[in-house]
Amino acid sequence: MNAAAAVENLYPALIAGDVGAVLGAFGMKATVDSPLGGKQQPPEWVAESRAWLEEHAARSSAVNTVATPERVAHECSLDVWFGGAKSELAVMLVADILDDEIRDLRVYHSTWPITGSHSVRAPLMDYDLVERPAEPVGAYHDALAAGDAEAVDRLFEPDGYVREPAGSAYSHVGAGRTAWYQAILGDGPLRLRLGTITDDGTTVVYEYMVESWGSARLPRQAGAAAYTRAPSGQLASARIYDDVDPPPAVAGS
């Protein structure tokens, strides 16, 4: 099994109880960093994740995968049950690859669908990447940093959507997308420092640290996002994976 297929299979194999297949995907000295467990060794993450997924009757469906020789970024959706109600957990897995094995795995998702609140996710790496994402994602990133909601919105196809970390129920398109960007940038720029860029020519995934958001002083927090290009070169979609609590001025808008 190649690295991309192994990353895509992590949650299905955990749900099926195939622990050996999951552990076999990792190389020696590999690590996992996740919102629920923090930094762990693969056996610990596998055991805890397997028990949690079983407890909440989880089911997994794939969304998208971006693969390069050095890194695999896989998006999936987990249906999980809490107190008799089903919730969607949108998850991004980013795996650094060495010799077709997972060297390090970083798991991104919001804890809001699980707990009803956000948790601070400390930075996971050095966010000193000077490379600029390819267009139109580079322009998108610049517009966020400038706090220019109109410039952000213009980069999307008319039916392009942005999806919040809380899942597909929090997707915005058309006038709703325009209003959402006006709201989140209404208090000022959203500045992100990038740590990695993974691009297969169609979708760009980057890992980032939220450096600042509007006028509020927020703790620096880790996240990831996926941006898919339409054939026109505009954005067809933006899917966000972080747990950043909006600053008061934004949350109250």
The pTM (predicted TM-score) of the whole model is 0.95
Average pLDDT (135-157) is 97
Cβ-contact 216, 187 below 8 angstroms: yes
Structure tokens at 76: 């999936």
Instruction: Provide the residue count of the chain.
Output: 253
Domains and CATH numbers, the chain: 3-109 (3.10.450.50), 137-251 (3.10.450.50)
pLDDT digit string (tens) for 168-178?
A: 999 999 999 99
Gap between the Cα atoms of 238 and 170, Å rounded: 12
The residue type of 110 is: S
pLDDT digit string (tens) for 51-92?
A: 999 999 999 999 999 999 999 999 999 999 988 889 999 999
| H helices, E strands: number in the chain | 9, 12
* Helix H or strand E segment including 50: helix 42-55
Cβ-contact 225, 75 below 8 angstroms: no
